[in-house]
A = this chain, B = another copy of it.
């Protein structure tokens, strides 16, 4: 489970997720995305099928790093790294994107900016291990 301090960090600081998945040859694939937390898991929303989803269906291991705003002595910002296991579920992407758009773009922004968006995919990441530097590692 994600520590409460890490869940609060995601709600309050709205960090971007640097998502690492594995290509078929074992090389890392990295993309950035909005991220939410629910019931101790990380959630990502994707309108269209993408390589990261194909990677996660083949190998569900993944890692997500997120940078915070608070600077710790001697000068590096706090950050959260989650190592986890993903499952990709169909549907629900527009609703989750609307929630996240409120946090990232403003409370009155309608998102996704298109009529009749596809149902897309929601990726749930179950937390195996938390690292980084912050209240979640103190």
> Which A residues form the contact surface with B (CB < 8 A)?
16, 18, 20, 26-28, 30-34, 61, 63, 65, 67, 73-77, 79, 81, 83, 101, 104-105, 109, 111-113, 131-133
A111: B residues at CB distance < 8 A: 74-75
Q: Specify the main secondary structure of chain A where it touches its partner.
A: strand
A63: B residues at CB distance < 8 A: 20, 28, 30
Contact at A28–B28, with CB atoms within 8 Å? yes
A30: B residues at CB distance < 8 A: 18, 20, 63, 65, 81, 131
Looking at the complex, which one of B20, B76, B77, B101 makes contact with A75 (CB distance below 8 Å)? B101
Contact at B28–A67, with CB atoms within 8 Å? no
A109: B residues at CB distance < 8 A: 75
A104: B residues at CB distance < 8 A: 75
Looking at the complex, which one of B32, B34, B83, B105 makes contact with A67 (CB distance below 8 Å)? B32
